[in-house]
Structure 1
């Protein structure tokens, strides 16, 4: 779904001003950056700007006929191309529809814009089908590609786009923005959300709306009970049924990295404040080789879940918790 916004995130404002001040635009752009950092918002706002009949102060006016059609989701000259299901591929048939769209005359007599996200979801055939449109662009037609992982794109696709990296704001700016977004979250809670989101403010806001803080507290308490022998791994795996597996994998990966840094003396305190005492205790007890083997196993299963492999969630969590607890056992 395309964001119905006409302005980028505030931390991307300098890049926006440079882009929209140009007289001539590239026929294809590749907006890349970390998930939740604002690149989709940026691309949506740029699409709105390109299609607006009378931009004001460098932004879409949201008042003209073209803007009204866009905001209603019914602009005939704006096409959004994305997977039919999250995590699935963008197939060649969908890209052929894009090519047909590009070849047609704009129904509103202005520009045509295609937003394709995530670009790395295109399979090889789809990417090759797109190349012709990139090599022989139509007048007044603009392709906006959005990618979390631009390295996964065919080099020939990347080379035919103007690549625009969109980074994250500084920590203080991200924290100030998230704190201003409403709700009753404390500054400490916002800081934890940003940590869970890898510093990406929009992802942190999504996590807040998904009640991730309460889920995190439940998981941390469960970890403490597990290490004290107060709960069995199988029972804990069932109790975490409502927690998204992606979050659990992210948290365990972050805690494992903290353990490695603590164990090697690279840092004095864990970055995960709510797990600082637990991780500090574990770092003193575990063996580095066992920790590295655990990390390899965890990263491999994270990759499998990301690729939508058909894994049994409860059995995976039970095995993961057994291995986590066994990190403290000496050979």
Structure 2
């Protein structure tokens, strides 16, 4: 399977330059970046720069030398990537998809590094290890990695990426040189999407709805996510008149269809966690309008419907109900990965929603 060498994203140019100026100051770098804003791409750019034999004047990989060719062929002997195996379920090579995908980086993955880092570099240069998202290291894996970072192997660079630094062991953080990779400004994100995907006049709305997560928007745009989100919002706009049981039946099917498509290698568009997130966002917008505390953030197109709903019950009573239900949705979100009966779960949530008005 080929692996393209990414160009440094425009909003990461300064971070890339700062890292290059710090080269040789540390054996491990911790990059903190908002989720789905290109942090993974930046890590790969770092690795390619290190392993490239003839980087350009901006220190980015040339894409043509022997080192770059090995990276592109996913066969560089001095290069390892540690990430949850759930990331590989859509691998284009079916044989390499994990049988039991995990959302965590395991101790076995960390231990497997020994075969590389404890030997002489195959190509006589540095060895590079990427770990992302670093906060998905389980407890045993984190402790095993800590031992490696405390007694780092020679000629080896570690690059860790996280968007939730609070979940990392403080001792791991202390062993790394920390860099911040910012999210793009709205204009930069729109330019990127217009250039790399297609010119669309609703990129701004999608970016606002996904909290500026430009890579997430790009990936979701290849699925039916935004179409389903619009259908969902249109049903919620009916308030107490929403057919909760019918809505549960429809979205239970969408979730099951998405799970089947994922098994065949397609990106996952919707699951229970996504539906609960949509509910949380709808309640957020409804609360803002009911309290006259701001405009709709996630469902701007549905502001007229949200305004009508906010007027269907006394404001103080509705705000109290929305607050309590938002707290309940937080609890529901924590359980979203558990294998419960999705249909019954959806029915319960949608019936609770209709009872708000």
Structures share fold, TM-score greater than 0.5: yes
Question: Is 2:254 the partner of 1:242?
Answer: yes
Give the one of 232, 239, 243 matched to 1:232. 243
Question: Is 2:216 the partner of 1:203?
Answer: yes
Q: Distance in 2 between matches of 1:43 and 1:146?
A: 7
How far does residue 233 in structure 1 lie from its aligned partner after superposition?
Answer: 1.2
Q: Distance in 2 between matches of 1:270 and 1:283?
A: 15
Greater than 4 Å deviation, 4+ residue runs: 268-271
Q: Cα–Cα, structure 1 residues 250 and 9, in superposed 2: closer, same or farther, change >3 Å?
A: farther
Q: Is the 8 A contact 1:81 1:94 kept in 2?
A: yes
Give the one of 298, 303, 309 matched to 2:338. 309
Q: What residue ranges of structure 1 are gaps of 5+ in the alignment?
A: none
Q: Distance in 2 between matches of 1:213 and 1:166?
A: 27
After superposition, residues 132-147 of structure 1 pair within 5 angstroms as 132-147=147-162
Give the one of 212, 215, 221 matched to 2:225. 212
3-state SS of 1:85 partner? helix
3-state SS of 1:242 partner? helix
Q: Is the 8 A contact 1:6 1:46 kept in 2?
A: no
Q: Is the 8 A contact 1:249 1:302 kept in 2?
A: yes
Q: Is the 8 A contact 2:134 2:161 kept in 1?
A: yes
Q: Is the 8 A contact 2:296 2:303 kept in 1?
A: yes
When the two chains are superposed, the root-mean-square deviation of aligned CA atoms in Å is 2.1
After superposition, residues 180-191 of structure 1 pair within 5 angstroms as 180-183=195-198, 185=200, 187=201, 189-191=202-204
How far does residue 218 in structure 1 lie from its aligned partner after superposition?
Answer: 1.6
What TM-score comes out, normalization by structure 1 length?
A: 0.90
For 1:288, the equivalent position in structure 2 comes to 319
Q: Is the 8 A contact 1:51 1:66 kept in 2?
A: yes
Q: Deviations over 1:185-216 (max 9, x none)?
A: 3x2x2122212321111111111111322222
Q: Distance in 2 between matches of 1:270 and 1:116?
A: 33
Q: Which 10-residue stretch deviates more, 145-154 or 265-274? A: 265-274
Give the one of 179, 186, 191 matched to 1:176. 191
How far does residue 172 in structure 1 lie from its aligned partner after superposition?
Answer: 2.4
